[in-house]
Structure 1
Amino acid sequence: MERIKMTTPLVEMDGDEMTRILWADIKKILLEPYIQLETLYFDLGLPERERTKDQVTVDAAEATKKYGVAVKCATITPNAQRVEEYQLSQMWKSPNGTIRAILDGTVFRAPIMVKGISPVVKNWKRPITIARHAFGDVYKSTEYKVPGPGKAELVFTPAEGEAVRQTIYDFRGPGVLQGQFNTVASISSFARSCFQFALDSRQDLWFATKDTISKQYDHTFKDIFQEIYDTEYAARFQEAGIEYFYTLIDDAVARVIRSEGGFIWACKNYDGDVMSDMVSTAFGSLAMMTSVLVSPDGNYEYEAAHGTVTRHYYKYLKGEETSTNPIATIFAWTGALRKRGELDGIPALEEFSGKLEAACLAVIEGGSMTKDLAGLWEGEVPAVTLNSRQFLEAIRDELEKRL
């Protein structure tokens, strides 16, 4: 077949470790033979972030604002051990956090369901999409390790007027402090992104915080969501036959476990981080989770929800065989290519994305899969475990039948 032509480049953000290896193989085996791939390439691998003092991450985010659609490989967020391993000048911040802050977007994560792998929660019949606020809170917090006795205060100095002070705690000994923040503008963008995504996907929207305890911080989230819903979206939700529902985060957890799925669960930044891992693992595997960052300006950044698969990378460096699941990374590419085709009026690109996704699922449902899925397999045919490259080649062979 003639390769599909693109008219606008994707912003491509390369990453680290085993996912970086899979990234190159996915392009070579599943994409470049069929698409004249046009990308604006940014290397977000840790050595390049160190070399550029993390400017490359900022540049990639700004390029996404310009071109509208990006696809990102998993990246390392360094800790103290990584600083030593990579000889870093400092502990660079999460690339995802930097990109989210610049795009001011909301992350929507949903499991990829396949026949033969049942969710741990047996009554879950449909995917649960986690909508994670992508700004502020603990990810942009200021911390202080208290050395000994003293008074901790929360101080706000307005642009005009006198400072406002509140006592946080009178320390009698050592401890720790953390200051968090968010903005009405970002919370409002979060709410509108969630409401619009619910309308686009025709799914109910749940939102949960802990406003009974956090009577200012969390309650502000609740109030903004309710005001925007009442004034901008209530009639549209009613017309679409979908519901907006608010509850406390602990009640939401209980309701989610008892549900059949098929809704969007909007969470604050940290809650969304934790709950997306819980939901994806309960549905099967972290490697079977889509993730897309959607900004209020209509920009999209697709990625896998999992990390860089460090343990497999160390095996790869030793020349040992790995069986690493590439599905979430493939679906990041297909999501970005589908959106690029939609925006640019290239239906062939949208059709190719759908066929590649269908090929991925067909291979697994036919009994061929990576090691992580083989341990979960409940299908009628015996599971055959393939190594990383064999699995990609099996997907390619299935894709060829569908093109």
Structure 2
Amino acid sequence: MAIGPIARRGGRRLSSTAQAAPAWPPAGPAQAPAPPPPSDTLAQTLPLLLSGNGGGVLTRRFRVSGRVATVLAPAPKTCIGRPLLPSLPPPLSPPRPPAPAPPRPRLVPFPRFPPATLLAMQALRAAIAGGRVGFSSGLLPVGVRGGGAAALAGRVAMSASPPAVGGAPGLRALATAASARIPVDGQIVDMNGDEMTRLIWQLIREKLVFPHVAVEDKLREFDLGLPNRDATDDQVTLDAAAAILECSVGVKCATITPDAGRVKEFGLKKMYRSPNGQIRGFLNGTVFREPIICGNIPRIIPGWKAPIIVGRHAYADQYACQDMLTPPSGGKLTMRFEPADGGAAVERTVFEFGADQPGIALCMYNTDDSIRGFARSSFLYAQSRGMPLYLATKNTILKVYDGRFADIFAEVGQEFPDVQYEMRLIDDMVAQMVKNDGGYVLALKNYDGDVQSDIVAQGYGSLGLMTSVLLHPDGKTFCSEAAHGTVTRHWRKHQAGEATSTNSIASIFAWSRALSHRGKLDGNDALVNFGTALEKATIGTVEGGIMTKDLAICVHGSASAATEDTYVTTEGFIDAVATKLARNLGK
């Protein structure tokens, strides 16, 4: 017998009744009503098949996992043969016309969930898969394992009451999904920085991240601000780098690399090295810088439609070289290598300086392991983005030095047959960059990558529209940061009590990329999707006409044309992103 659609759900005790038009004439004298069937199991509440030909409506209630539901279905108009179960007692009243069958319950279309509900459903699925949500005898998760009656990182109450018919999610927990925060499994290393970007960092955390992601307890925080680096003799930088290697994900605020003026300003013990350089060297990672494209921001090179991602080998070369001034007396410059196994030394004459001909000299190096890690990271990144990969060198001049890069890339490329790869001379590659429309990864040596990444950033509109991620050769260890500095000029204005309009987009993307990578490592789709949603909200805010002064100058052509009504303050932009993000998430 076909069962009709669910008409209603209730919480009363289990019972089974049948209502049908009475058979006539009565088969015999009145009998006492038969006791109702037991109601312990579904098998004991099977429908009663009635004899007779009157038709009617059959009502069934059944229990599944502690829930009670009532189902209405048309009873058969005739039954052939004898009843399969004892029939109900015959009626004592005169025959009446058959009652019309009640209308079938209206089917409610399955709802389209808002983005916030979908994110909450993904968070719930991730929590279930991770064993963080337990189940009672009901249909709903009722608490975090070992955490009482709170679920999803202890912030969403999970009700055990049944859902209403036609209700959007079918779970009361999802009725409050708009206010749910996404749980995070693994840890993230959070490195604070200096000056204006330090202020922006806190605004991003408080207004864009913490309201939606339950990550506070998963942050391992390190203060890389210059005063604390000086107080710890810069040990805090190395500790942060070690933590990234342990946790696999880091997010870094912009920091100061001090010069002589900064040493005096902060009263430093010494002129400390670049935090970025130390972290890159510790992780042996490759820096990938990618422009953030906003449709209404004019590009200096208008033909660039897709991003050009610059992969910079952030190790050695000029950044770890030895350079010197040669004395006026002249002399011979040599390069000497002494094997550790006691073999014969190798010595090359570089140049002979004549008397009264002072000059300069430089010696730099790299290692096969570092170059191989650079190659592997570059192929992995290009593979993940589905883009072709180019290596640009000058191996026609530096036949051994740059030639070694070319040889190792070709060797590693054999492991990635699905990645389109080509090695080109750097002068030819730069010329091609200006002519093509983008959409590839460009692997460059340390110095070349430093220069070209800034050229690419300006070509797409602004240094404030450039992401920067550090990727380890294992493809897992990852650190994201803004590609710009600490915006000292705006910090001075802030200290003087003046309003600022500082672009925070690159810092926002540092957080979005770190959260997404954490989600990928943990299999947390909700967290990955939140990172994407944060980036879309940021770009959407700019494309909606709300932007900081640097972007308003790009749009209007000059600083004089970018009047105060064309841009918002530093905090005003982050507030606008927060509003759009909440709206997009359905909150």
* TM-score (norm: length of structure 2): 0.66
In 2, the alpha carbon distance for the partners of 1:163 and 1:90 equals 36
1:152 Cα deviation (Å)? 1.5
What amino acid is aligned across from residue 470 of structure 2 in structure 1? L
Q: Do 1:104 and 1:189's aligned partners in 2 also have CA atoms closer than 8 Å? A: yes
CA deviations 1:188-246 (Å, max 9, x no partner) are 111111112111111011111111111111111111112222x322x333xxxxx2111
Query: Which segment is superposed worse, 118-127 or 272-281?
Result: 118-127
Is 1:180–2:361 an aligned residue pair? no
1:118 Cα deviation (Å)? 2.6
Task: Tell me which residue corresponds to 1:63.
Answer: 243
Q: Give 2:415's match in structure 1, choosing from 232, 239, 255.
A: 232
Task: Tell me which residue corresponds to 2:336.
Answer: 155
1:5 Cα deviation (Å)? 2.0
Is 1:294–2:294 an aligned residue pair? no
In 2, the alpha carbon distance for the partners of 1:89 and 1:228 equals 44
In 1, the alpha carbon distance for the partners of 2:334 and 2:269 equals 32
Task: Tell me which residue corresponds to 2:284.
Answer: 104
In 2, the alpha carbon distance for the partners of 1:364 and 1:102 equals 36
What amino acid is aligned across from residue 382 of structure 2 in structure 1? A
In 1, the alpha carbon distance for the partners of 2:200 and 2:207 equals 10
What is the SS of the residue equivalent to 2:539? helix
1:174 Cα deviation (Å)? 2.5
1:4-403 aligned within 5 A: 4-37=182-215, 38-148=218-328, 149-159=330-340, 160-172=342-354, 173-229=357-413, 231-233=414-416, 235-237=417-419, 243-297=420-474, 298-377=476-555, 384-403=566-585
In 2, the alpha carbon distance for the partners of 1:156 and 1:319 equals 57
Q: Do 1:17 and 1:309's aligned partners in 2 also have CA atoms closer than 8 Å? A: yes
What is the SS of the residue equivalent to 1:158? coil
What is the SS of the residue equivalent to 2:348? strand
In 2, the alpha carbon distance for the partners of 1:122 and 1:286 equals 16
Larger fraction in helix:
1
In 1, the alpha carbon distance for the partners of 2:410 and 2:529 equals 38
Runs of 4+ residues deviating >6 angstroms? none
In 1, the alpha carbon distance for the partners of 2:482 and 2:281 equals 18
1:145 Cα deviation (Å)? 2.4
In 2, the alpha carbon distance for the partners of 1:288 and 1:138 equals 27
In 2, the alpha carbon distance for the partners of 1:336 and 1:376 equals 28
1:100 Cα deviation (Å)? 0.6
What is the SS of the residue equivalent to 2:484? coil
What is the SS of the residue equivalent to 2:453? helix
CA deviations 1:235-267 (Å, max 9, x no partner) are 333xxxxx2111111111001111110011110
Q: Do 1:118 and 1:378's aligned partners in 2 also have CA atoms closer than 8 Å? A: no
CA deviations 1:264-283 (Å, max 9, x no partner) are 11100111111001001110
1:184 Cα deviation (Å)? 0.4
CA deviations 1:31-86 (Å, max 9, x no partner) are 11222222100111111111111111111111001000000001111112212222
What amino acid is aligned across from residue 188 of structure 1 in structure 2? R
1:362 Cα deviation (Å)? 1.0
Q: Which structure has the greater CA radius of gyration?
A: 2
What amino acid is aligned across from residue 389 of structure 2 in structure 1? L
Task: Tell me which residue corresponds to 1:240.
Answer: none
Greater relative contact order structure (CA < 8 Å, 6+ sep)? 1
In 1, the alpha carbon distance for the partners of 2:221 and 2:361 equals 40
Question: CA 1:316–1:110 in 2, change beyond 3 Å: closer, same or farther?
Answer: same
1:6 Cα deviation (Å)? 1.6
What is the SS of the residue equivalent to 1:13? strand
What is the SS of the residue equivalent to 2:352? strand
Q: Do 1:117 and 1:378's aligned partners in 2 also have CA atoms closer than 8 Å? A: no
1:157 Cα deviation (Å)? 0.6
Q: Which runs of 5+ in 1 are unaligned?
A: 238-242
In 2, the alpha carbon distance for the partners of 1:278 and 1:332 equals 20
What is the SS of the residue equivalent to 2:289? strand
In 2, the alpha carbon distance for the partners of 1:144 and 1:48 equals 32
What amino acid is aligned across from residue 390 of structure 1 in structure 2? G
What is the SS of the residue equivalent to 2:498? coil
In 1, the alpha carbon distance for the partners of 2:273 and 2:361 equals 20
CA deviations 1:369-389 (Å, max 9, x no partner) are 00000011279xx97300001
Query: What is the alpha-carbon root mean square deviation over aligned residues?
Result: 1.5
In 1, the alpha carbon distance for the partners of 2:255 and 2:535 equals 23
What is the SS of the residue equivalent to 1:303? strand
In 2, the alpha carbon distance for the partners of 1:215 and 1:346 equals 47
Q: Which runs of 5+ in 2 are unaligned?
A: 1-178, 558-562
In 1, the alpha carbon distance for the partners of 2:327 and 2:211 equals 60
What is the SS of the residue equivalent to 1:375? helix
Aligned pair count reads: 394
1:23 Cα deviation (Å)? 0.5
What is the SS of the residue equivalent to 1:29? helix
In 2, the alpha carbon distance for the partners of 1:396 and 1:384 equals 19
In 1, the alpha carbon distance for the partners of 2:240 and 2:293 equals 31
What amino acid is aligned across from residue 97 of structure 1 in structure 2? G
CA deviations 1:323-368 (Å, max 9, x no partner) are 0000000000010011111211222212221111111111110111
What amino acid is aligned across from residue 153 of structure 1 in structure 2? T
1:176 Cα deviation (Å)? 2.1
What is the SS of the residue equivalent to 1:287? helix
Q: Do 1:13 and 1:71's aligned partners in 2 also have CA atoms closer than 8 Å? A: yes
In 1, the alpha carbon distance for the partners of 2:490 and 2:260 equals 21
Q: Do 1:293 and 1:300's aligned partners in 2 also have CA atoms closer than 8 Å? A: yes
